[in-house]
Every structure is written in structure tokens, then in C-alpha cells.
């Protein structure tokens, strides 16, 4: 709780383009019922927080932060997208999430046709919850599934029962949600190919129009990392991860869900997550909540992490900014290559310098970038290139 806020202003050139670029609002909900062993997000259980913070004090702080944000941005643009993540936003209930969206509306407003997403743990949802979300104005739900195999969920310390995510999808559909995402994690120690295949089949049977699939990463400081270090569990195997990814991609593609970002598949262009596309395409967003990150016009900043500190700083009338950085031209170029190359549309080759262009030519020869796309002036990953996306990025920006 020792973080101190820093004075924060946005330079005129960063503010100049506000409103001309897509603008999103991310809201970080820092509360979880339990801590998953693989997670290193800025989250807290009730036992960890004690009386230091509560959903009520957090919501008061959120309202203050969003009001200050709108003042700082001047003619604040209405939000094209809103994404409520965490943590476990569904612990707030539909009423609490309705208050969150009301706070965004009050400070910024919502653009016509705005995409409004919340993450949810299937165990803290119900038909009434989804109906309340729809009434509040949410248009999209993202549900954590990870796996249908009970032993895999046990390794991940996930508390939901294997069949609950697909039932939650049905409840969300019945409530009127057209856009529903399920998250998968692959490469968990002990996960067999048959386990992963069954999980993907369950996703397809659920009828969602969006799937996110992430390779398990052993993050330092997590319970999973400690178990791997002690030799209780093997670390994820790169060859197995590649085979898992190819299985997921082939099954989803055969069912009509096409990749549009290396870890994301959608049934149509309308099903793509517009909020995340804003990140990947270098848009502006305000990240509200403890530890949330923001970006406007080449300036990036992040909030103090602890919910109690977050609320106390805002109660004094200050933005809870813990640090900031001004991205240089080289920084922005690196980020553009790193993010846009992960998209199915790829990156314009004219975004690369001479060395990068030569490396792109070599990557085409190596089968990592698509030859036909390169002939049309774009760097687009091949299927093999997607497996080595990070390495391709390093080559193009070396």
C-alpha cells in the first residue's frame, strides 16, 4: 500500500487527437472469491483485503476517477467500447455492474452502437444475472472456462464445475446476448490431447461466437510457479503447446470460427472484440481501477495497485497514477509491429525500415510470412508463423 501517486497531466499533442481515434474505457474489478494458482493479476480476496477496502469504496473511487478523467481529456469522447475485467466482475452482481456502466455513461457517455463487455466467472452467474446485465446495457459477455477436465481445473485452482460454463452460455443466450466468448487455457501440466479436444468440443457445442485460447504461462510469484520450482509439476512444453494450438485452430476453423488475432477466433466480423482491437491497433483508452493501465496519444500510465490506496488517493481529489511514460517514435513503431503482426490482416510492410523489410523477405522465404500478402504490401503470419509470432516480431524490429 506504499505506492505514492505522481502529478499527472497529458501534453497538448497527446490531447490533440482525442476523439478522432476510437476511445475505450477499461474498468478493473480487483475482487476474487479465491486466488487461482496461475494468476498474477492485481486481484484480492476478501480475506486479503479485510476492512481495508470493499466493493462500495472501490465504486466510489471509480466514479471519482472517471469524472476526473473526463475533465482531464477536455471534450471527452463518448466511449466506443467498455470492457469490465478483473478479477471477477460478476461478484458485483448485475446491479453492481449496472452501477459501473452508469458511472461510465455519466462521465463519458456511450457512442451509438457501443460494445459493452464484462468478464464473468460462470459460478457467480445465473439467468437473473444475465437478464440484469442486458437491462443495464451490456452487449457482450466473456466467460472463463479454461477446461472441461476436472484434473486440469484442479491444477489451475479453478473453482467452477466442469459443466457450468456451457450452461452459463445458454443462460446468456436466453437473456438476449448475441455475443458470448469462452476462454480456454491450454498446456496445463497433466492435460492430455483428449482433454483438450473434449474442451474444444464443449466450446463448439455451446454455440459461442468468440473463443480466446491462451497458452499457460508460469508467472513468477504465483502458486503454480512455486509448484513448478519445487518439481511438483513439470513446466509447459513448447512442442506440446504448438501441437495444442494447432489442434484448437483446426477444430475452431472447421466449425467456422476464424482467427483474427493469434489467440482469438470469431464467427464473424461483428463477433470480434472491438475493445481488444482498439488495443492492438494503437487506439486510446482510459483504464480505471486499481492497477489499471491507460494510453492516450502516445502517453501510457498506470494506477496504484492496492484498492485501499486507490480509494484514498481519489478521496483527496487526485488521480491515482503511480507512474507514466511518453512513448518515443521507436517505442511506438515497436509496439505497432508487435501488435498488428498478430492480427489476421497483418502489418503494412511500409511500417518497417530497411532492415525490417529485408527480414520480412527472409521470413517469407522461411514460410513464416504469407507470400501472396507480401506481394500486396502486407506482412501476414502463416500458420507456422503464428506458432513463432514472438520470434518473427523480434526479427522484424531487430
The residues, ordered by sequence, that sit 6+ positions from 40 with a Cβ below 8 Å of its Cβ are 219, 220, 221, 222
Q: Residue 36's pLDDT is what? A: 83
Q: What is the pLDDT of residues 145-175, one digit of tens each?
A: 999 999 999 998 887 677 899 999 999 999 9
Q: Residue 366's pLDDT is what? A: 97
Q: Residue 51's pLDDT is what? A: 76
Q: Residue 387's pLDDT is what? A: 95
Q: What is the pLDDT of residues 369-392, one digit of tens each?
A: 999 999 999 999 999 999 999 999
Q: Residue 107's pLDDT is what? A: 97
Q: Residue 94's pLDDT is what? A: 98
CB 76, CB 108: distance < 8 Å: yes
Q: Residue 304's pLDDT is what? A: 96
What stretches in the chain show pLDDT beneath 50?
Answer: none
Q: What is the pLDDT of residues 314-373, one digit of tens each?
A: 999 999 999 999 999 889 988 999 999 999 999 999 999 999 999 999 999 999 999 999
Q: How far apart are CA 25 and CA 281, in angstroms?
A: 15
Q: Which three cell numbers stand for residue 174?
A: 436466453
Pairing verdict, β 210-215 and 264-266: antiparallel
Q: Taking all residues of the chain, what is their mean pLDDT, rounded to a whole number?
A: 93
Q: Supply the pTM of this predicted model.
A: 0.94
The residues, ordered by sequence, that sit 6+ positions from 258 with a Cβ below 8 Å of its Cβ are 252, 265, 266, 267, 344
Amino acid at each position: 500500500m506504499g505506492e505514492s501517486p505522481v502529478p499527472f497531466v497529458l501534453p497538448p499533442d497527446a490531447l490533440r487527437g482525442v476523439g478522432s481515434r476510437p476511445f475505450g474505457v477499461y474498468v478493473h474489478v480487483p475482487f476474487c472469491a479465491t486466488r487461482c494458482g496461475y494468476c498474477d493479476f492485481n486481484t484480492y480476496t476478501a480475506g486479503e483485503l479485510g476492512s481495508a477496502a470493499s466493493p462500495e469504496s472501490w465504486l466510489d473511487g471509480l466514479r471519482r476517477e472517471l469524472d476526473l478523467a473526463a475533465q482531464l481529456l477536455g471534450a471527452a469522447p463518448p466511449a466506443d467500447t467498455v470492457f469490465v475485467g478483473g478479477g471477477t466482475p460478476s461478484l458485483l452482481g448485475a446491479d453492481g455492474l449496472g452501477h459501473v456502466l452508469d458511472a461510465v455513461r455519466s462521465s463519458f457517455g456511450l457512442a451509438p452502437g457501443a460494445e459493452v463487455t464484462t468478464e464473468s466467472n460462470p459460478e457467480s452467474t445465473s439467468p437473473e444475472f444475465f437478464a440484469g446485465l442486458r437491462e443495464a446495457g451490456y452487449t457482450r459477455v466473456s466467460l472463463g472456462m479454461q477446461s472441461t477436465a476436472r484434473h486440469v481445473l484442479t491444477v489451475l485452482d479453478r473453482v467452477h464445475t466442469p459443466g457450468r460454463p456451457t450452461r452459463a452460455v445458454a443462460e446468456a443466450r436466453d437473456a438476449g446476448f448475441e455475443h458470448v466468448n469462452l476462454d480456454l487455457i491450454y498446456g496445463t501440466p497433466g492435460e492430455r490431447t483428449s482433454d483438450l479436444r473434449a474442451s474444444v468440443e464443449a466450446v463448439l457445442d455451446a454455440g459461442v461466437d468468440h473463443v480466446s485460447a491462451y497458452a499457460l504461462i508460469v508467472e513468477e510469484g504465483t502458486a503454480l510457479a512455486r509448484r513448478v520450482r519445487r518439481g511438483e509439476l513439470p513446466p509447459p512444453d513448447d512442442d506440446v503447446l504448438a501441437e495444442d494450438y494447432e489442434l484448437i485452430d483446426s477444430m475452431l476453423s472447421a466449425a467456422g470460427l476464424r482467427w483474427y488475432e493469434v489467440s482469438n477466433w470469431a464467427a464473424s466480423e461483428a463477433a470480434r472484440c472491438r475493445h481488444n482491437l482498439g488495443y492492438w491497433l494503437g487506439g486510446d483508452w482510459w483504464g480505471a481501477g486499481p492497477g489499471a493501465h491507460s494510453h492516450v496519444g502516445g502517453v501510457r500510465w498506470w494506477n496504484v495497485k492496492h484498492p485501499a490506496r486507490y480509494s484514498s488517493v481519489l478521496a483527496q481529489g487526485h488521480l491515482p497514477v503511480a507512474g507514466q511514460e511518453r512513448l518515443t517514435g521507436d517505442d511506438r513503431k515497436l509496439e505497432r509491429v508487435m501488435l498488428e503482426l498478430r492480427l489476421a490482416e497483418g502489418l503494412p510492410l511500409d511500417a518497417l525500415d530497411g532492415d525490417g523489410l529485408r527480414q520480412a523477405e527472409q521470413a517469407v522465404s522461411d514460410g513464416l510470412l504469407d507470400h501472396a500478402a507480401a506481394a500486396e504490401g502486407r506482412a501476414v503470419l502463416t500458420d507456422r508463423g503464428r506458432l513463432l509470432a514472438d520470434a518473427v516480431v523480434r526479427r522484424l524490429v531487430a
